Amino acid sequence: MSKFTYLAIVFTTGGSFNTIFEMLAGQALKAIYKLKSNLFIFPGITVQHKLDLFDKLILPILNYGSEVWGLNDSTKLERIHIHFCNIV
């Protein structure tokens, strides 16, 4: 058994969290596209409010399980934030 999933966090024998980073990044991208489609309905929302929505809706997805993988390199998750900033 090389992988073990507990509370949607995949633990591997090598101690790598790449699988969870990919899963969280995918879920966050889905949420960003849903948020983006809803933002088209309200075109007058300021950039500050859009960033606030990111902090309240997307960031909890990206931070899920960070207590476990908190010290690992998570550039995949950081790219999600940069992607959102580019589309705002």
* pLDDT tens digits along 1-49: 688 888 877 778 877 777 788 888 999 999 999 999 998 898 889 999 9
Cα 53 to Cα 57: distance, rounded to the nearest angstrom: 6
Question: The pTM is what?
Answer: 0.79
- Per domain, the residue ranges of the chain are 17-87
Cα 7 to Cα 67: distance, rounded to the nearest angstrom: 13
Say if residue 52's pLDDT is above 80.
yes
Cα 62 to Cα 57: distance, rounded to the nearest angstrom: 10
